[in-house]
Amino acid sequence: MAFECPLCNSYTSIQLACSTCGSALLDKGREADYYDDYSPYESFESVKMTDGYGLDEKDHECPHVLSCPECRTSVVYLIEEWMI
Ligand SMILES: [Zn+2]
Ligand SMILES: [Zn+2]
DSSP-derived secondary structure letter, 30: E
* Tens digits of residue pLDDT in 2-59: 999 999 999 998 899 999 999 999 999 888 765 555 444 444 455 445 444 444 455 7
Ligand nearest to the CA of 18: 2
**CB-count exposure of residue 68 (10 Å: 0-12, 13-18, 19+):** buried
**What pLDDT does residue 30 have?**
87
Show me where the domains of the chain are located.
Answer: 13-79
Q: Are strands 74-80 and 45-47 parallel, antiparallel or unpaired?
A: parallel
3 CA → ligand 1 middle, Å? 11
pLDDT average, residue stretch 77-84: 91
- Report the first-to-last Cα separation within the chain, whole angstroms: 6
For the chain, give the number of residues: 84
Q: Which residues sit with Cβ closer than 5 angstroms to ligand 1, an ion?
A: 5, 7-8, 62
